[in-house]
Amino acid sequence: MPSYTAPVKDMQFVLHDVLKVTEQDVPGYNELEADFTSAILEEAGKISSEVLQPLNVVGDKEGCVLENGVVRTPTGFKAAFDQVKEGGWTALDCDPEYGGQGMPYVLGVAVGEQFTSANMAFNMYQGLTHGAYSAIHAHGTDEQKSTYLPKMVSCDWTGTMNLTEPHCGTDLGLMRTKAAPQGDGTYKITGQKIFISAGEHDMSDNIIHLVLAKIEGGPEGIKGVSLFIVPKFLVNEDGSLGERNGVAVGSIEEKMGIHGNSTCVMNYDGATGYLLGTEHKGMRAMFTMMNEARIGVGLQGYAQAEVAYQNAVIYANDRLQGRDVTGAKNPDGPADPLIVHPDIRRNLMDQKSFVEGARAFTLWGANMIDQHVRSDDEAAHGIVSLITPVIKGFLTDKGFEYATAAQQVYGGHGYIEEWGMSQFARDARITQIYEGANGVQALDLVGRKLAQDGGKHVMAFFDLVKSFIKENSGDEDYDKAFLEPLKAASKDLQAAGMYFMQNGMKNPNNALAGSYDFMHMFGHVCLGLMWAKMGKAAMVALEGGASDTAFYETKIATGKYYMARQLPATAMHLSRIESGADTVMALDAANF
């Protein structure tokens, strides 16, 4: 049976040693004193380990069951959801005007990592609600906000996002769901949506669906898509629940993983819907949810790798098999623990250095969202919008890769469901697919974000790397171990960008054929930057006489590993990119 311990100390390190949140001039950040964040994270960690994690395997085994139009969630999910609600966790970073606690997003993300590592399928019920809350908060009328938000902040009502239809996922312009205006400001929504996470379940009194649909007579394609609020139960003027709306679950999907979350086919049959935001501008409103969701999904990727890693370490210390070639480490036992073997360590260090880098990267992203939302920092907004597809695509590809690598440490036992390692891999797998498959993230990055505002944001990113290197060089060992590899990787990334500029003009395929490699390069450079920052912060702490020397020395050693063993990947990606589109596009479709 797997276990989970919240990495509070590592999170504190990122918040306070690296990001130095209390020193930032962001409204609300002054509250984030180390003692305060530590208390919150410890408390969240307790719920994660004691309440959510034990239900993870239950959720996987039982799954959700649809009977007579009602979806039954796994044993224990409802009680745990009530406990999370009562603890105020769903309100943590929500607007106080609607009952939220008004904490910064960066803290919400740290707590979210814990809940997700403990039980990803469970935490999605809350995560989807948060996304819908944000969309209504950003685009709703005052009346919509006061009607829905207080109940969604408390998760008495949960939320969903409805984009996909059987014949369209990425290409939403093909959408067929219709919205017929009723003349009273409401619409009748008719159509079928698929892959709706938490579309129907038994944990909340009402479900607020956000649904993309086309208003009859509107523009063709993606330009005619609007967003609607479609509650499961209509809400009376006094806020009480009224009649059942014309939306029903058709079936639930049998999936590779996240069995504890109900993935629904939703049928809309003249359901009453309320326009959210401007008509035909539904994609803009939806992107409020999607950007938040993409960061949340990147987080899911590395959070699964984190919990899988923790269990792999326990197993590698417990399981006795073979002897250290340089001399027995457990001479009185029948064999040495797995962790003495260099290739087991290589595997564990790959995992560890990724997860800790990914955490810093994600919290940095969340920090920039706070800077934008709370301080109107447009430069921060530009960079976080640039790196959002990298957080989503790179962290989920690697998250799955390392959840699988952790499973590998268990040998044959890793393949047996009883041990729980297969679930981490199966659950992580969806993160590469939903909220825009990773190929679409790469396309967003290269086809859209790179050139946005005349390339201003990517230039700002490179400047940021350059300034960091300049401001922090001087220590010979640090420069060699951290700054030189970062400089080389960043140079590779710039060269790739240059290749796209020079060759994408004459044929856009030269850029698009390299987009996936570019996303991965970008991810490595970002994690390299994070490790350079963490290495520096650890050195500063040690120089300042920090007592826990092992903790900081481990950070430096782990960072050195990442720089030496992971950053060389950028050269490979550059080679692939510079080989251009010719070999990629050579075959006729019939010759595949």
- Minimum CB distance to a second copy, residue 285 (Å): 22
Identify the CA nearest to 113 among candidates 347, 430, 366.
Answer: 366
Q: Please state the separation of Cα 181 from the chain's center in Å.
A: 36
- Minimum CB distance to a second copy, residue 576 (Å): 5
Q: Whole-angstrom Cα distance, residue 372 to residue 381? A: 5
Q: Please state the separation of Cα 69 from the chain's center in Å.
A: 31
Q: Radius of gyration (Cα) for the chain, nearest Å? A: 24
- Minimum CB distance to a second copy, residue 461 (Å): 22
Tell me the three state secondary structure of residue 63: coil
> Which residue carries 């949140």 as its tokens?
21
- Minimum CB distance to a second copy, residue 75 (Å): 18
Q: Whole-angstrom Cα distance, residue 428 to residue 462? A: 31
Catalytic site residue from 237, 356, 435, 476 = 435
Q: Whole-angstrom Cα distance, residue 161 to residue 138? A: 15
Nearer to a second copy, 331 or 412 (CB): 412
Nearer to a second copy, 70 or 572 (CB): 572
- Minimum CB distance to a second copy, residue 397 (Å): 10
**Secondary structure E strands in 23-129:** 65-67, 70-72
The CA distances from residue 207 to 158, 202, 274, in Å, are: 5, 10, 14
Q: Whole-angstrom Cα distance, residue 103 to residue 99? A: 12
Nearer to a second copy, 41 or 521 (CB): 521
Q: Where are the alpha helices (DSSP H) in 438-483?
A: 438-444, 452-472, 476-478
Nearer to a second copy, 78 or 323 (CB): 323
Nearer to a second copy, 408 or 494 (CB): 408
Handedness of CA 551, 557, 561, 562 (dihedral sign): positive
- Minimum CB distance to a second copy, residue 380 (Å): 29
- Minimum CB distance to a second copy, residue 579 (Å): 4
Q: List the beta bridge partners of residue 247.
A: 268
Identify the CA nearest to 152 among candidates 134, 177, 179.
Answer: 134
Nearer to a second copy, 167 or 244 (CB): 167
435 assigned to active site: yes
- Minimum CB distance to a second copy, residue 241 (Å): 31
Nearer to a second copy, 270 or 439 (CB): 439
Question: Left if phi > 0, otherwise alpha if psi is -120 to 50, otherwise beta: which for 88?
Answer: left
Nearer to a second copy, 379 or 569 (CB): 569
* Both structure tokens of 140: 């709703």
Q: Whole-angstrom Cα distance, residue 309 to residue 315? A: 10
Handedness of CA 532, 538, 540, 542 (dihedral sign): negative
Tell me the three state secondary structure of residue 14: helix
Q: Which residues are catalytically annotated? A: 435
